[in-house]
Chain A
């Protein structure tokens, strides 16, 4: 289905990444996974810019903040920072991106994703 919006999941914790991907697929999205920021950028090069990205903050190799800055400089697709870190709120505010604290209700996540994609499309 070509009209399925692609969501990039950048998350170092495998079970969580896999679960998010499964849930997104169940809700009609196409999920692409990356275990850190650098891998995320590779996936973007490989598959093209996604409709939105759900990005963890604390990750090895390249963290969520660096990934978000790199995206903002090049592609500019919407990013939702999804983190358990207490500093994530401040960082997302500084970057001007949306933030969702872990753990979260999937319904809220979907709501935020729709909002982000809708705003990006508008």
Chain B
């Protein structure tokens, strides 16, 4: 979960940076391209001028050569040589331009120009030689020497033309080329951005899909787990309760036998056995209710319940294994509340057990009964270490055990379950301020109408 979110962030940041960089770099690249093509256009103009010069020199030779053919003389030959000399100078100028052309990335073009110019010169020189040899101009074009030189020159010229056509030969063309390149870059940026966005969408979709499927499988697993747990708890409680019933009944029978025989040791042993079975049964009942809470299947059977017998039962059961304690009752327990008897027994037992468990052996436990706007309030107070105000809510969390009390056996379900049960019965359970020790208060609705069941029993 953590690494997935980190990966997602890294991918998003990378794509963002890539798109931003492309958008920043794009105009820069376009500008460079334009500048570069401008430079190329300038260089090309220089080269064209140089070539035209060379070309014009060659073309200027034509009438001279024609005149020489009509009346050969040394003046004409000298003129031709002079022209060739100037043309060669033009070629030298072109050669000088070569580094510039290379720098501008126009090397193929300048080579093409030079080749063409050189071809012109070769052609002119051959014509000059042929003229000096007395061959008429009309026949000169058929001479193999001339044809070969002309062929080479034509090929070079064609190659140059191809390059010029590519460059279009004008500034406008270069601008168009620059814009085309810029648009290509723009298209590339858009493609990159789309791929990035697509990647993000695909990644997010897969992540959401994965998360969804993970959550679904988690929910299914949790449901299966809850079902299994429920089944296990049901089975365990049933399987535990049958042997507990046997133990309980055996202990009751032994207790009766010991009592009638006056065997005090046997009576005590049987009573302890019976109390142990009852305590086990109480734990099973709590576990079962916890499972019902988890499954949201806790059905309450609320009815009028006598508070006195409830508290007496809790004290008796707690004292059976924690030892007897003086219990001081303030107020009267002769009150009837409305509660599910089994569940109220769990709550009161937990309250009394907590007081016994977390206070020094033999120290008194105080039970105070008083009125509350919500019904009857029952406080169970001890003289133990108490619960710090900041921990008073935390102890009601399931499996919560406070550090100072962890050496005392327990699993931390009693208070959690008790509060849940109290609230479901219209009451509440919580710690109250106490001068010393802990003071746990249960508020439970009071039964106001006469107890009909008891009335019926009395009549029967």
On A, residues with C-beta under 8 Å from B are: 13, 15-16, 19-20, 22-23, 26, 58, 84-86, 89, 101-106, 118
Contacts and interface: CB of A to CB of B under 8 A. Distances in A.
A101 B250 CA distance: 17
A22 B234 contact: no
Nearest to A86: B234
Contact of A19 (B241, B253, B288): B253
- Nearest 4 Cβ contacts at the A-B interface: A84-B241, A103-B245, A103-B248, A102-B245
Nearest to B460: A118
B256 A13 contact: no
B250 A84 contact: no
B232 interface: no
B249 A84 contact: no
B43 interface: no
Contacts of B240: 84
Contacts of A101: 241
Contacts of B140: none
With most chain B CB atoms within 10 A of its CB, the pick from A15, A26, A86 is: A86
A106 B248 CA distance: 9
Contacts of A20: 249
Given A58-B238, A86-B288, 17 more contacts: A13-B246, A16-B242, A16-B246, A16-B249, A19-B246, A19-B249, A23-B253, A26-B253, A84-B240, A84-B241, A86-B292, A101-B241, A102-B241, A102-B242, A103-B241, A104-B245, A104-B248
B247 interface: yes
A102 B252 CA distance: 14
B237 interface: yes
A104 B278 CA distance: 9
Interface of B: 234, 237-238, 240-242, 244-250, 252-253, 256, 277-278, 281, 288, 292, 301, 460
Given A58-B238, A86-B288, A106 B245 contact: no
25 contacts: A13-B246, A15-B246, A16-B242, A16-B245, A16-B246, A19-B249, A19-B253, A23-B252, A23-B253, A26-B253, A84-B238, A84-B240, A84-B242, A84-B245, A86-B234, A86-B238, A89-B301, A102-B242, A103-B245, A103-B277, A103-B278, A104-B245, A105-B248, A105-B252, A106-B253
A118 B460 CA distance: 10
Contacts, number: 55
With most chain B CB atoms within 10 A of its CB, the pick from A16, A103, A104 is: A103
Given A16-B245, A16-B246, A103 B253 contact: no
A13 B245 CA distance: 11
A22 B253 contact: yes
Interface majority SS (helix, strand, loop, mixed), chain B:
helix
A86 B238 CA distance: 8
A26 B256 contact: yes
B75 to A, nearest CB: 135
Contact of A102 (B244, B256, B288, B301): B244
A23 B288 CA distance: 29
Contact of B249 (A23, A58, A85, A118): A23
Contacts of B288: 86
B366 to A, nearest CB: 29
A16 B243 CA distance: 8
B247 A103 contact: yes
Contacts of B237: 84, 86
B238 A85 contact: yes
A23 B254 CA distance: 10
B454 to A, nearest CB: 14
Contacts of A103: 241, 244-245, 247-249, 277-278, 281
Contacts of B281: 103
A12 B278 CA distance: 22
A105 B301 CA distance: 21
A31 to B, nearest CB: 13
B130 to A, nearest CB: 125
Given A84-B237, A86-B237, A13 B242 contact: yes
Contacts of A86: 234, 237-238, 288, 292
Contacts of A104: 245, 248
Nearest to A15: B246
B51 to A, nearest CB: 106
Nearest to B234: A86
Contacts of A26: 253, 256
A84 B245 CA distance: 9
B242 A106 contact: no
Nearest to B284: A84
B316 to A, nearest CB: 12
A106 B249 contact: yes
A19 B244 CA distance: 13
Contacts of A102: 241-242, 244-245
